[in-house]
Structure 1
Amino acid sequence: MYTNIITSQNNGITTITINRPLKLNALNIETIQELNAAFRAADLDADTKVIIVTGSGEKAFVAGADISEFAHFSVSEGAKLAAKGQELLFDFVANLSTPVIAAINGFALGGGLELAMAAHFRIASDTAKMGLPEVSLGVIPGYGGTQRLPQLVGKGRAMEMIMTAGMIDANQALQYGLINHITPQEELIPLAQKLATKIIKNSSVAIAGAIKAVNAGYEDGVDGFKAEIEEFGNCFGTEDFKEGTTAFLEKRKAEFSGK
């Protein structure tokens, strides 16, 4: 079905693996389109409660964008590339109603780190390295990097990372708050699955509302508190709310339908 990615579904978890090992899983236009299709399909799949995105092999999550594709672009073509990429993948993932965990198994550079930052949270192997090297190529991060990195690590650290074009290791990324957990390589996917299983136990419709409310707080001109009130109110009209509160009062485990 796909040329550059592999998808699998098991126990409510869809795993999307970027599989271009000879290119260190670099994102070309075709891969971005395939990822859009895979994330869209998983989000629409009633059996998928969590999505894990990772890279194939042990070297790279995604080592960046495929520079050969845009080295000769004009100003307008460059702007269009960034706009299209953000629409198809990076903003698309950030606003999905299904939770997305990035399992960073190696280099996450440029567009790779931007993809990981678009996920709802990140975990990494102890061998992972992260950075935005774009200014060393005479360009800036164009897939949301200048916006999401400061949100996650603070303005000063983001400025330093972007300006130096340097890489940080997993320990520094954990200290910065860029990732939530570090684990040995062989335990990375099992940890992602363990976290996904904890998420699956909860109401998927409530989680979708929480994602929307959290994201609203980072949007210009949007009142995050107002969005929270609205999403909180919407929960009262769901079957999951009735089930969750009834189960709590009856001292039993809730069985959520996701409706």
Structure 2
Amino acid sequence: MESASNGPSARAAKPGDLVDGILARLLGVDGRQDSLVGQIAVEVARDIIEERVGPGADLNSFELARRFGTSRTPVREALLVLEKEGMVEIPPRRRPRAASFSKETIREIYELRGELYALVAARVVERADDEELGTLDACLEAMRAAAAVSGDAYFWQVVLFQEQACLLCGNGTLKRTIDGLGLRVMQLRHLGMSRAWRIERSLADHERLMLALHERDAGLAAALNRSMATNALAGLMTLFDGSELLGRTSD
């Protein structure tokens, strides 16, 4: 199993650095995170996830080039990286834009997410010792502190909690499968959080989850993780049915 000290709870790294590292890995630019293309891809990914660029919004390569003090070539390359991961759409003879969502896509992603994270919880119960569970306790404490700062700060601490849980579950195939959904799930989670997600409810859910993990109740921990995804899906469907803007699904 990968040591917890090498995961997101590692004390030496700042939360922003840990988040950028996760984004770089999910985008496939972790080997060139310090390159201009890697930096642009990571920063634009954060812009999209944190809704500074909303679903369906145009991405002007000229403005991005000016922002990053470069030519348009590395910007185009970074946008291609984002397109490959489903965060950006590049229509023929039109400006690139942040990817949009259909109702069916949201449902499919969240149904799969619920089952995957149920497996994560069950595996953590089976494999993680008390010291390793302590790293999740530290993540939960960071979530509590971030809740008093801002919604975005709390959101990213939830991401770090989930990343650590995936490391502790000890199933590389499961983690890679979750990573494949990671960026789209992050974007949807933030959309729900900014409109209908209550931090107090989220903290309470994670506190119940940690209690189940410490009590070694795999069935309850799995059910709690599954229910968090189910409840989030219901909230997103309400936004979608209420005609909240989730982006353009066609030209």
Higher strand share: 1
TM-score (norm 1): 0.30
TM-score (norm 2): 0.31
Higher helix share: 2
Higher RCO (CA < 8 A, seq sep 6+): 2
